[in-house]
């Protein structure tokens, strides 16, 4: 069924390409480009809480480096660390390792080597937007994420995947691109769910309302409120994995 859906998507894309490709080029040229958030790439949330810190790694694309907000503390990693610390009653020592515009395959080559010499209890991998817009094949997507998950798990890290964001709700994109890329994102996320089962990782849906107040002014990345709501939802679903950490 997934192969049929993927083939149907490519057929539709091929038919619409004469319109979709120029529209994509125009949208890219006109897009508002926001910088990564300022601030240190690591920190500790809940320092006054008792117990050994939960060592958290968040690895991925632009949302990991906080595009859409001014400070990393207000971005996904800072908000998630604070939410986990409050929920679990223990400190959370967090580290963000990301790059704006990176795909999963590029991250395997450039980002993963930066963290493999460190120890983490929990790693959240946040990818999908760039692989969707780059039209990464499902096979390459699976191999890249699977190899990163296996490398981290081999070091005793519990691995979790954040779902591929629903690009059909990204207001920065014209309607046709939202429909095409939203369907493509769904295909990647279906494969990601299957991969999570096969490698013993968990899959966590991006639970976020994509209305104006939840998006940054580029219409593409979360706002501070969007990051906070996303992080709070993740903290709830990641709690079992956090409690299994030493």
Task: Answer yes or no: is pLDDT of 48 > 70.
Answer: yes
The 8-class DSSP code of residue 55 comes to E
Report yes or no: 180 and 20 within 8 Å, Cβ to Cβ. Answer: yes
Report yes or no: 53 and 203 within 8 Å, Cβ to Cβ. Answer: no
Pick the CATH number of 41-244 from 3.30.2350.10, 3.10.28.10, 3.40.50.1110, 3.40.50.720: 3.40.50.1110
Task: Answer yes or no: is pLDDT of 193 > 70.
Answer: yes
Report yes or no: 61 and 108 within 8 Å, Cβ to Cβ. Answer: no
- Using CA atoms, how far residue 231 sits from 19, 207, 218, 238, in Å, is 37, 9, 20, 10
Give the mean pLDDT of 195-200: 96
Check residue 5 and give its pLDDT.
85
> Phi then psi for 56, rounded to 5 degrees?
-110, 130
In tens, the pLDDT along 102-137 reads 999 999 999 999 999 999 999 999 999 999 999 999
Q: How many CB atoms lie within 10 A of CB 16?
A: 15
**Average pLDDT taken over every residue of the chain:** 92
- Tokens representing 89? 């009653």
Output the CA angle 153-226-43, nearest 5 degrees: 50
Burial code (b: 16+ CB inside 10 Å, e: under 16) for 172-191 equals bbeeebbbbbbbbbbbbbbb
pLDDT band at 7 (very low <50, low <70, confident <90, very high): confident
Report yes or no: 59 and 128 within 8 Å, Cβ to Cβ. Answer: no
């Amino acid at each position: 069924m997934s192969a049929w859906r993927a083939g149907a998507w490519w057929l539709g894309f091929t038919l619409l390409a004469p319109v979709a490709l120029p529209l994509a080029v125009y949208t890219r040229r006109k897009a508002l480009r926001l910088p990564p958030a300022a601030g240190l790439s690591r920190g500790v949330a809940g320092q006054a809480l008792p117990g050994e810190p939960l060592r958290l790694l968040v690895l991925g694309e632009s949302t990991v480096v906080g595009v859409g907000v001014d400070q990393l503390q207000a971005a996904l990693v800072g908000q998630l660390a604070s939410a986990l610390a409050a929920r679990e009653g223990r400190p959370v020592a967090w580290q963000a390792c990301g790059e704006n515009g990176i795909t999963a395959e590029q991250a395997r080559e450039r980002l993963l080597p930066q963290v493999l010499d460190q120890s983490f209890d929990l790693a959240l991998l946040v990818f999908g937007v760039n692989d969707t817009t780059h039209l990464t094949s499902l096979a390459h997507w699976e191999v890249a994420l699977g190899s990163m998950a296996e490398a981290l798990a081999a070091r005793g890290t519990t691995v979790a995947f954040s779902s591929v964001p629903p690009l059909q709700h990204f207001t920065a994109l014209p309607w046709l691109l939202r429909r095409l890329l939203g369907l493509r994102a769904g295909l990647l996320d279906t494969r990601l769910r299957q991969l999570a089962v096969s490698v013993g990782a968990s899959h966590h849906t991006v639970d976020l309302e994509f209305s104006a107040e939840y998006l940054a002014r580029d219409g593409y990345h979360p706002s501070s409120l969007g990051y906070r709501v996303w992080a709070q939802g993740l903290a709830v679903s990641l709690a079992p994995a956090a409690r299994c950490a030493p």
